[in-house]
Amino acid sequence: MDLGIRGRRALVCAASKGLGRACAMALAQEGVALTITARTAEALERTAAEIRAATGVAVTTVAGDIASAEGRAAALAACPDPDILVNNAGGPPPGDFRDWDREHWQRALDANMLTPILLMRAVIDRMIARRFGRIVNITSAAVLSPIPRLGLSNGARTGLTGFVAGLSRQVARHNVTINNLLPGAFLTDRLRSNAADEAKASGRAVEAVIAERAEAGPAGRVGDPAEFGAACAFLCGAQAGYIVGHNLLIDGGATHATFA
């Protein structure tokens, strides 16, 4: 299926690794020119080179913290007028809510709620003017089914979700769509490092923790980031203009719900 976005421009945030990288790669495979960001320049350049080699599209890199005002300004200076915006950043740390003061909350809100909102605000009017825009926010399955130790993530991402539910309906008539993708367990560095913490605490091997997590879900495996990227590209496609304000859960059936 040709998604009809060849020649479009995308800004994909936090995209040197994991789910962001997979979204960038899937868009590049559709012929979309990319601007990708991450904090660590070396890994970012490596990913950009891999995407160029695999797809031949133009890839611009912006090294910086997308949760900071400077990082966002640099990303927007490199790509001021994207047709497609994929919002992503690292997730907040786990812990006990008693340990989180205002600073912890502010960091979580900056990365996982306010940064996507400010980036949407910066690009959406030009999307409306050209009558094409696709925005995808990477959130988490925890928005639907909260993970108690990830309270900072549960709170910040649910705030973003509520805002998007309203905004997506204000812009849909201009062929600008905003949807959220909710990952369950995908095999990325973040999943590996969470598994490493758990392995250390329980005296097991990292592979055993990941295998246990995989086995626990209905699909009997963890997700491949490429599967996530493909869903993102579809939501960014020309044909997806009537898909508005959705929260698409991609978790191999792990969240037990009749509707999700």
- Phi (first) and psi of residue 3, to 5 degrees: -80, -5
Residue keyed to tokens 């490596």: 46
Residue 87 burial (C-beta neighbours within 10 Å; 0-12, 13-18, 19+): buried
Pick out residues in 4-43 that bind ligand NAP (CB under 6 A): 14-20, 37-40, 43
- Least distance in Å: CB of 223 to ligand NAP? 7
- Least distance in Å: CB of 211 to ligand NAP? 15
- Least distance in Å: CB of 137 to ligand NAP? 10
- Least distance in Å: CB of 140 to ligand NAP? 4
Answer yes or no whether residue 190 interacts with ligand NAP by CB under 6 A.
yes
- Phi (first) and psi of residue 248, to 5 degrees: -90, 110
- Least distance in Å: CB of 161 to ligand NAP? 13
- Least distance in Å: CB of 13 to ligand NAP? 6
Task: Number of residues interacting with ligand NAP: please give it, by CB under 6 A.
Answer: 31
Task: Give the integer Cα–Cα distance in Å for 149 and 74.
Answer: 33
- 136: helix, strand or coil: strand
Pick out residues in 139-158 that bind ligand NAP (CB under 6 A): 140-141
Answer yes or no whether residue 66 interacts with ligand NAP by CB under 6 A.
yes
- Of 82, 7, 13, 4, the closest CA to residue 240 belongs to 4
Answer yes or no whether residue 232 interacts with ligand NAP by CB under 6 A.
no
Residue 14 burial (C-beta neighbours within 10 Å; 0-12, 13-18, 19+): buried
- Least distance in Å: CB of 15 to ligand NAP? 6
Answer yes or no whether residue 89 interacts with ligand NAP by CB under 6 A.
yes
Residue range at the interface with ligand NAP (CB under 6 A); choices 64-72, 121-129, 158-166, 199-207: 64-72
Answer yes or no whether residue 237 interacts with ligand NAP by CB under 6 A.
no
- Of 143, 91, 135, the closest CA to residue 117 belongs to 135
183: its two tokens = 């990952």
Dihedral sign for Cα 141, 142, 144, 148, please. positive
Phi-psi category of 35—alpha, beta or left, where left has phi over 0 and alpha has psi -120 to 50?
Answer: beta
Answer yes or no whether residue 189 interacts with ligand NAP by CB under 6 A.
yes
Out of 82, 116, 155, 183, point to the residue binding ligand NAP (CB under 6 A): 183
- Residues lying near ligand NAP in the complex (CB under 6 A) are found at 14-20, 37-40, 43, 65-67, 71, 88-91, 111, 138, 140-141, 183, 185-186, 188-191
